[in-house]
Structures are given as C-alpha cells and as structure tokens.
A = this chain, B = another copy of it.
Amino acid sequence: MSNKLENTDRLCLHTITTKPWSIEIALEQYAGAGVRGITIWRDTLEGRDLKKIRRRIMDAGLEVVSLCRGGFFPSADETERERAVLDNLEAVHEAEAVGAPSIVLVPGADPRQPLEDSRRQIEEGILRINEEAKKAGVRLSIEPLHPMYADTRSAVNTLSQANDMCDRIGDSNVGVAVDVYHLWWDPSLGEQIESSARHGRLFAFHVCDWLSPTSDLLYDRGLMGEGCIPVPEIRGKMEEAGFHGFIEVEIFSTRRWSMDQSRNLKDIIEAYFQHT
C-alpha cells in the first residue's frame, strides 16, 4: 500500500479531463490550483502556434508530461495505415514543439480484421516512427486498453501483451503507460508492473475510477474514490516498482464535463489527496 500524497508535486492533468476549457484556460487554471504537470491532448492544439503554447506552459511553471495521443496504427486498408504513420510522425514533431518528452500510443484495432493482424500492424507502426521519435527526444508509451475496446481502439489489452511487444521491439525508447481504468481487473497486474520496471519501461501512470454501474463504454469514467478501482493500492505497486513520476488524472465523463470546470478541478484535487 502507498503513503498518502502530501502535496501536488506529482499531480498531472490530461487536458481531456477538463474538456470544456481551451488549452490557454487549462494552463492558467491548472497552474493556479497547484497542478504541476499537463498531458496535452492534440485536439487542444488545433490552430495554435506551438511555440507560443510552449512559452505559455513554461511561463505557467507547468511541466509537459506527455502528448496524447498517437497510435491507431491498424487498418485493413493499407492507405489508412500509411496515413496513420504520417499522422504519428506529425505527433512526434508536435510533441517536440510543445516540449513533451513522450507520446501516449493508443494502439488501435480494426474490427474488419483478426486481432493478430492488428497486433502485427501496431508493432510495425511503432517501428516506423521510433527512429524519428528518438531523434526528437520523444519516448513512445504503449497504453494497453481495456478488453472492451478490443474492437476498434486497442488490440493490446493487458500489460503483459504490452510488455511482450516492448520485448520484441527491444528499444529503450518504447515503454508502457499503465492506466488503472484499463488494467485494474487483471490479477497479474502487480507482477507485470514489476516486469515493466525491471526493463526500465514504466513511462506513465494514469488514474480515474470505474463507476458501478457504468452507463457508457467511453464517457462514464469516475473520479478516484467514486468507483471500485483500488487506486492507492495500484499506485503502491507502481512505487514499489520504482515509479515516482507524475500521477496523471485522465477522466472522460459527460457528467463531469457538464459541471462547472473550476468545481471539477477542485474535486479532482480533493480526490487526489483522499483516494489516490
């Protein structure tokens, strides 16, 4: 089990968590609330001058933890696969421009083809962008997604699979992102976190909660403490394995997006201290 978190030094927010806010407002509000890290979702950068955003982030005293998201490599259509590679190369340059040391890769899947094909295409896609990512100083984090997303979002559904993929790729620039929402149910999670750590590939840690009942497959995540995921216990496993990086709050929630976002931010900080 983990010790209580005593300050916000490790607190990072994904911009999607406060979706109604523009990147400019998010930066200001996060910094004002004592949040230290920010993981930037690419949609918030649309139409922006990335150098200016980079400057604003530095002025706000925030650290960019990751750019979210690359990936979505598989497709039964070859042209689409090429497009995905190009889009990921663009993400690498965006990450470099905003000062993100890593990109979260949501692996992707295509229901029109076997999972095995999607898995092979994910690996091929990563190999296609990894050299460029290394030149840019950008690490790649494979995020295994919950098996309920195996049709369209990820053919990589356990940390064990992500670790195996990293083993095959065999490059220290490619690691994993552990998200409690996707992996909490897996009895081998602790041992797989240790394995990731031993290989120096435990790059990121995302938190939220699983609501019971959950009313929507995508947009009904809970705040830590609202659901049944033992978040502090999983954080404990991460720390025992040597991870002391940012704790990234990533919550997709129609319900929370419809709230006043200052209230949402206050709730998140409270939940960070009480239930993370």
Task: Please measure, in the bound complex, the distance between the C-alpha atom of A187 and the C-alpha atom of B227, giving whole angstroms.
Answer: 28
- Looking at the assembled complex, report how far the CB atom of A91 sits from the nearest CB atom of chain B, in whole angstroms: 25
- Looking at the assembled complex, report how far the CB atom of A161 sits from the nearest CB atom of chain B, in whole angstroms: 6
The chain B residue sitting closest to A152, CB to CB, is B212
- Looking at the assembled complex, report how far the CB atom of A142 sits from the nearest CB atom of chain B, in whole angstroms: 15
Which of chain B's residues have a CB closer than 8 A to the CB of A148?
146-148, 214, 217
Query: Is A210 on the interface with B (CB-CB < 8 A)?
Result: yes
The chain B residue sitting closest to A156, CB to CB, is B187
Contact B212 A214 (CB under 8 A): no
- Looking at the assembled complex, report how far the CB atom of A181 sits from the nearest CB atom of chain B, in whole angstroms: 11
Contact B186 A228 (CB under 8 A): no
Contact B111 A227 (CB under 8 A): yes
Which of chain B's residues have a CB closer than 8 A to the CB of A114?
230, 233
The chain B residue sitting closest to A228, CB to CB, is B111
Q: CB within 8 Å of B: which of A209-227?
A: 210, 212-214, 217, 227
Query: Is A157 on the interface with B (CB-CB < 8 A)?
Result: yes
Query: Quick one: copies of this chain in the complex?
Result: 2
Query: Is A202 on the interface with B (CB-CB < 8 A)?
Result: no
Q: CB within 8 Å of B: which of A124-183?
A: 146-148, 150-152, 157, 161
Secondary structure class of chain A's binding surface, majority of residues: loop
Contact A214 B213 (CB under 8 A): no
Which of chain B's residues have a CB closer than 8 A to the CB of A184?
150
Task: Please measure, in the bound complex, the distance between the C-alpha atom of A185 and the C-alpha atom of B114, giving whole angstroms.
Answer: 10
Q: Are A214 and B146 CB-contacts (below 8 A) given A185-B157, A187-B115, A228-B111?
A: no
Contact A150 B217 (CB under 8 A): no
Which of chain B's residues have a CB closer than 8 A to the CB of A233?
114
Which of chain B's residues have a CB closer than 8 A to the CB of A212?
111, 151-152
Interchain Cβ contacts under 8 Å between A and B, 26 examples: A111-B212, A111-B227, A111-B228, A112-B228, A114-B233, A115-B185, A119-B187, A146-B147, A146-B148, A147-B147, A147-B148, A147-B185, A147-B186, A148-B217, A150-B185, A150-B210, A151-B210, A151-B212, A151-B227, A152-B212, A152-B213, A157-B185, A157-B186, A161-B187, A213-B217, A214-B217
- Residues of A bordering B, CB below 8 Å: 111-112, 114-115, 119, 146-148, 150-152, 157, 161, 184-187, 210, 212-214, 217, 227-228, 230, 233
Sample of 7 more A-B contacts, CB < 8 Å, known A111-B212, A111-B228: A114-B230, A147-B185, A148-B148, A151-B212, A152-B213, A214-B217, A217-B217
